[in-house]
Structure 1
Amino acid sequence: MNTKYFDLINQTYYFPQDEFTLSKDNQLQFHNIDLMKLVEQYGTPLKFTYLPQISNNIKRAKNWFRNAMEKNKYDAKYYYCYCTKSSHFEYVMNEAFKNNIHIETSSAFDINIVEKLLESGKINKSTFIICNGFKRDQYIENITRIINNGHKNCIPIIDNYEELDLLQADIKGKFKIGIRIAAEEEPKFEFYTSRLGIGYKNIVAFYRKQIQENPNLELKMLHFFINTGINDTAYYWNELVKCIKVYIALKRECPTLDSLNIGGGFPIKNSLAFEYDYQYMIDEILNQIKIACDEEEVEVPHIFTEFGSFTVGESAGAIYQVLYQKQQNDREQWNMIDSSFITTLPDTWAINKRFIMLAINRWNDTYERVLLGGMTCDSDDYYNSEQNMNAIYLPKYNKEKPLYIGFFNTGAYQETIGGYGGLHHCLIPQPRHILIDRDANGIVASEIFSEQQTAEDVLDILGYNKK
């Protein structure tokens, strides 16, 4: 009878997988990294980032676009931009910019980060800086400064009619701009049109009125982004076709327009059963653009993407220890972890996001159905979003045999949404965070990026230690 945790995983999913394998002593490995050794060295709760996966995903995407352009005889260039809001950390930028990519910003302080990257030589003045978001005051001032300092490939994406005047007030000489399309949302959304950008029907008129006769403006890019991501749905293809039509209409009147930014939205693996044909989607996107442009005898545009979660999401994880099991009734057993889901994986609480969750050790033990609870006194601090109809199965709790569990592909947004370095719900401390890399010979090395918060750290923030 197959009653071991290994049997459950093996018969439910294809296992092992590229990034998930078992060691000889049946403990989970992530990209051939022994996770139990990390636990023994650093303890739990523990956050980790495996830096090489950032470069791996960038290289994968570049290769898919290269293949698609060759297949479709698509005669233009592809530019991979990193969407900084997914994770602003320096270690992410340092790894990402090893790969000759570009950058997309969304707020004022992003430009300060860009300036630091320029100072350190991580990027240069040929790097495209795509400035998205709603722009006022400090953001406008920072964009103005970087353009006036000679960064000609800084392209502010116009989000509303007033931004153009604000930018022109202080930028000296000619500069490049883009326009964001306000995409129509899926029918199930609470609103019809994105709050970001300018409506489809208004873009050509906006160009004629405010850009066409202005010698200081060079319209280079049309920006298109779907909130629900790049998916093989009728909704996505319909919005893409509408976007291409706007590009063609605008291109006929604006010869400087030569780039289409299709935004981000590649999904990342959230289950061992995850399936997504990235190459097919890219092939079809480029095919649709080329067919439409060829029919209208318009040159195909250069393609920009702004992948954030796809770049960094699959590089990180979190490890917890099951501290205790509470039998609350005849059916429900609560495994209590040594941290909080609300504070360390806030998307599980805020948007019911799923992450891959697996036991780190005890794969040869029998399993049981459980619920996972966090340490805060909030009734919403739990996780039950697994594949098996919201059930979670883990090796049976045994107070004599510690159980460790891992959540994977958590690298996008969790630190910033959770308030990295700040206060957390019920003052649960922020976990220790380590960085994992490989040297030229493939040898794994790890280092502490930040220690677990102490009581003094929290008291400082709260003002108790002020003299």
Structure 2
Amino acid sequence: MNTKYIDLINQTYYFPTEEFELKDDQLQFHGIDLMALVEQYGAPLKFTYLPKISDNINRAKGWFDSAFAKADYKAKYHYCYCTKSSHFKHVLDEALSNDIHIETSSAFDINIVNKLKAEGKIKNDTFVICNGFKREQYIENIAALINSGQNCVPIIDNYEELTLLTDATSKRFNAGIRIASEEEPKFEFYTSRLGIGYKNILNFYKTQIATNDQVDLKMLHFFINTGIRDNAYYWNELHKCLKVYISLKKICPTLDSLNIGGGFPIKNSLVFDFDYEYMIDEIVSQIKQVCDEAKVDVPHIFTEFGSFTVGESGGAIYKVLYQKQQNDREKWNMINSSFITTLPDSWAINKRFIMLSLNRWKEEYERVLLGGLTCDSDDYYNSEQNINAIYLPKYHKDKPLYIGFFNTGAYQESIGGYGGIQHCLIPAPKHILIDRDENGAIKTSVFKEQQTSEHMLDILGY
């Protein structure tokens, strides 16, 4: 009878995968011995595997290069990283080493840009796409970038922003317009709060940009909340966007770029199935077809990938401290941290991550629930939104069990308030960086030690 954890994984998923394999009964992630990390650094532990950032960037570049060649698409592709997914310097340094561009969301983002420019990581010809609702400080910082000679393209989000920008700088600059896309029927509202409505963009261009000698319309920006998906809703919104692009292009010769935003999904399960190459081929071919039929030049394509860039580089490791048998059916494995502190997406929006045991794969498994250390009833994790249990090797007091959550690299630290006050004052765990040297050997370093009580008490004013 197949009762061991390794049997469960083998009969449920295709295993091993490109990321995961088993060696000496212990889980390996991209060839990294995770139990060796635990022995060296302890648990709970957060880690960032930097090479995965470059790997995903170059995969996407390759897919677009291939799609352009197949479609005979005569324009350029520009990969942008959304800084809001993870603002950490080690992430930006790794991403920018791959000749990419960036997209910002708020005023302080521009301070990061200035730091990276001073270090030579961002050049003047690097595109800085400025999204978001802009007010005084963000406008001032964007204007300063434009004045410095930076290739900065503010994306107009509302009717007042263009005037605010032209008042803040006397230089001529390129701008974009964000389309306020219509949301899926299941949403609580019909139209995104971001951008300007489809029907109003042409008039906005004619009245505010065409008559303004200081501004050139460079880009039309399209993004939908659900991201890039192969469904009727996505293709319908893309074609509505292309209609607007065609109408603008015919009266605006400076318009030459289409930003299709981001939203590429990342692996949240070992049964994840998304055909990236097919989607990119189809997007590129449909853009070309529509432009050819309208007899206008195809646009340069920009993408803004955040989670896709950094998400699959992150992971979290916990130790199971204790098992509580609450009734005849429910066993709670208590971890030595808090999901609210370390994986806020898991309880805030029911986001799922890949979860696997690090050790004891050849022992029997059991059905359990995972609970965090806080006294909050929401501090737990399910394998799926509608299934209230997961499976792990059986708990034994004398046999420590370690579990890992993978592809957690996007948003968790920002949403959780990295280094700030955590729920029930459960500290943020130690965070390490994992890289490879020129020979491919793994090297690790501590980015931040586990948060201390002194640090939290200082924030609280004690």
TM-score range, shorter chain: over 0.9
Distance 1:149 1:46 in 2: 41
SS of structure 2 residue aligned to 1:47: strand
One-letter code aligned to 1:350: A
Give 1:173 deviation, angstroms. Answer: 2.5
Structure-2 residue corresponding to 1:136:
135
Give 1:220 deviation, angstroms. Answer: 0.3
Distance 1:391 1:44 in 2: 23
SS of structure 2 residue aligned to 1:127: coil
**Counterpart contact for 2:433–2:446, Cα < 8 Å:** yes
Structure-1 residue corresponding to 2:76:
77
Give 1:386 deviation, angstroms. Answer: 3.6
One-letter code aligned to 1:97: L
Give 1:315 deviation, angstroms. Answer: 0.2
Structure-1 residue corresponding to 2:56:
57
Distance 1:26 1:85 in 2: 38
Distance 1:304 1:374 in 2: 41
One-letter code aligned to 1:241: H
Structure-1 residue corresponding to 2:426:
428
State how 1:168-247 maps to structure 2 within 5 Å.
Answer: 168-247=166-245
One-letter code aligned to 1:11: Q
Give 1:388 deviation, angstroms. Answer: 9.1
SS of structure 2 residue aligned to 1:181: strand
Give 1:395 deviation, angstroms. Answer: 0.1
**Counterpart contact for 1:326–1:334, Cα < 8 Å:** yes
State how 1:303-382 maps to structure 2 within 5 Å.
Answer: 303-382=301-380
Distance 1:385 1:210 in 2: 51
Structure-1 residue corresponding to 2:22:
22
1:52-77 deviation per Cα after TM superposition (whole angstroms, max 9, x unaligned): 00000000000000000000111100
One-letter code aligned to 1:115: N
**Counterpart contact for 2:158–2:195, Cα < 8 Å:** yes
**Counterpart contact for 2:369–2:388, Cα < 8 Å:** no
Unaligned stretches of 5+ residues in structure 1: none
Give 1:51 deviation, angstroms. Answer: 0.3
Structure-1 residue corresponding to 2:400:
402
Distance 1:219 1:427 in 2: 49
Structure-2 residue corresponding to 1:45:
44
1:104-152 deviation per Cα after TM superposition (whole angstroms, max 9, x unaligned): 000000000001111001110000000000000100000011101111x
Structure-1 residue corresponding to 2:11:
11
SS of structure 1 residue aligned to 2:196: coil
SS of structure 2 residue aligned to 1:169: helix
One-letter code aligned to 2:57: I
Distance 2:22 2:385 in 1: 21
Give 1:197 deviation, angstroms. Answer: 0.0
SS of structure 2 residue aligned to 1:29: strand
Distance 2:244 2:294 in 1: 12
**Counterpart contact for 2:179–2:220, Cα < 8 Å:** yes
SS of structure 1 residue aligned to 2:81: strand
**Counterpart contact for 2:416–2:422, Cα < 8 Å:** yes
**Counterpart contact for 2:344–2:412, Cα < 8 Å:** yes
Distance 1:193 1:371 in 2: 38
**Counterpart contact for 2:176–2:218, Cα < 8 Å:** yes
Structure-2 residue corresponding to 1:256:
254
**Counterpart contact for 1:353–1:385, Cα < 8 Å:** no
Distance 1:174 1:426 in 2: 51
Distance 2:139 2:385 in 1: 45
Is structure 2 residue 270 aligned with structure 1 residue 272?
A: yes
Structure-2 residue corresponding to 1:453:
451
Aligned residues: 462
RMSD, matched Cα: 0.8
One-letter code aligned to 2:87: H
Unaligned stretches of 5+ residues in structure 2: none
**Counterpart contact for 1:433–1:448, Cα < 8 Å:** yes
**Counterpart contact for 1:220–1:256, Cα < 8 Å:** yes
One-letter code aligned to 1:80: Y
SS of structure 1 residue aligned to 2:10: helix
- Structure 1 pair 389–349 and aligned structure 2 pair: CA distance change class (3 A): closer
Distance 2:286 2:355 in 1: 37
Give 1:170 deviation, angstroms. Answer: 1.7
1:24-69 deviation per Cα after TM superposition (whole angstroms, max 9, x unaligned): x110000000000000000010000000000000000000000000
Give 1:385 deviation, angstroms. Answer: 2.9
- Structure 1 pair 164–387 and aligned structure 2 pair: CA distance change class (3 A): closer
Distance 1:71 1:387 in 2: 40
Distance 2:32 2:215 in 1: 51
SS of structure 1 residue aligned to 2:207: helix
Give 1:237 deviation, angstroms. Answer: 0.3
Structure-2 residue corresponding to 1:418:
416
SS of structure 1 residue aligned to 2:78: strand
1:187-209 deviation per Cα after TM superposition (whole angstroms, max 9, x unaligned): 00000000000000000000000
1:166-203 deviation per Cα after TM superposition (whole angstroms, max 9, x unaligned): 00002112111000000000000000000000000000
Give 1:213 deviation, angstroms. Answer: 1.6
SS of structure 2 residue aligned to 1:256: coil
Distance 1:430 1:71 in 2: 48
SS of structure 2 residue aligned to 1:253: coil
Could you list the runs of 4 or more consecutive aligned residues of structure 1 that deviate by over 4 angstroms after TM superposition?
A: none
Give 1:431 deviation, angstroms. Answer: 0.2
What is the TM-score of this pair, normalised by structure 1? 0.98
